[in-house]
Each structure stands twice: as C-alpha cells, then as structure tokens.
Amino acid sequence: MFDAEKVGETLMDITPGLPETENFQHWPPWRPLVVETARRVLDYTGGTLVMPMTVLVEEYWREISSGLAQHDIPVRHFVLHADQDTLRARIAGDTVIGPDSPFRLVHLEPYAAAARTWLHDEAEVIDTTHLTPSQAAQQIAEAVKN
C-alpha cells in the first residue's frame, strides 16, 4: 500500500515553502515523484502496489499513468463512486476527520465534472452508494482476480 499523499506531504515540508497552492497535486514535482516512488517501491518489494488517490485533473492522471506505463507498471484504475447526496452525508457523518472539512466539500463539484467528462471512461467504476467499505473492497478484490 502506497499513499501518494505522503509525497505531497513531503513537498509541503520543504523550507522555504513551494509556491502557495490549495492542492499539492498542482506542484509539478508531485506527479513524477509519485511515479518514481511507485517504481522504486515495486523494484524493491515486487508484487502488487495499491495506490489509493484521487486525481481529478485529467492532465495529471495522464502524466502519472503514462509514467507508470513507461516503467512497464501495469495499472488497474478503480474509481469508488457515490452520488453527491451520499458523499455529502458521508462527509457530514465522518467521526474521524469531522464534518467540517472544507477540502472535501470543495472537491465535490470537480469530482462530478471529472466523472462526467473523462474519469469514469478511464477507470473501472465501483458504485459505493449502497455499499459498505468492506463490500466495495470485496468487489475490487473480485475484479482483480478475474
């Protein structure tokens, strides 16, 4: 399991800071560093690497996916989808991060736009609207077996 957000967190720790942005994915080094980190981890560990991340900018997804392809890293791209009402309810009911996460709320419309225009065409979509997290994971596990 490789959380690509950790690459972004590392970039956020650079002093003096990188140019101000509301999302570290906008920093040009983030995308190639995600690819390079994935490549290095796989070279070291072998096996299958799972990278949970949300990329809503098509150009960024193309940069990451083509970088992985250049290193012959196979990709199974899954999108965990839920309708907007369900997403809002899940955010409001979150007891870990809490309901006051403006970052998540501000990304609801960009997700909807990406889903309509390119994202769902690029991935295997798992509709989680009526699924528990365990059920969604089970669907992905079953899809990967086939």
Decide: helix, strand or coil at residue 125. strand
Q: Which whole number is the average pLDDT over 71-85?
A: 96
Q: Write a three-state SS string for 36-83.
A: HHHHHHHHHHCCCCCCCCCCCCHHHHHHHHHHHHHCCCCCCCEEEECC
Query: Stretch 23-44: mean pLDDT, rounded?
Result: 97
Distance CA 52, CA 65 (A): 14
Give the pLDDT of residue 52: 92
Task: State how far the Cα of 116 lies from the Cα of 122, in Å rounded to an integer.
Answer: 11
Residue 84 has pLDDT above 90, yes or no: yes
Q: In which element (H, E) is residue 126 found?
A: strand 124-127
**What DSSP state is assigned to residue 124?**
E
Asked whether the bond before 110 is cis by omega within 30 degrees of 0, the reply is no
The two structure tokens encoding residue 77 = 């791209």
Summarised one tens digit per residue, pLDDT across range 114-144 is 999 999 999 999 999 999 999 999 999 999 9
> Taking residues 65-77, what's their average pLDDT?
96
What DSSP state is assigned to residue 17?
P
- In this prediction, residue 100 carries a pLDDT of 74
Please state, as a whole number, how many other Cβ atoms lie within 10 Å of the Cβ of residue 19: 6
Find tokens 């839920």 and name the residue.
Answer: 82
Cα separation of 109 and 112, whole Å? 5
**Cβ–Cβ < 8 Å for 30, 24:** yes
Task: Tell me what the mean pLDDT of segment 15-40 comes to.
Answer: 95
Percent pLDDT > 90 in the chain is 90
The letter for the amino acid at 82 is A
Q: What is the mean pLDDT of residues 89-106?
A: 87
Residue 97 pLDDT > 90? no
Q: Is pLDDT at 146 greater than 80 in this prediction?
A: no
Q: What is the chain's mean pLDDT, rounded?
A: 94
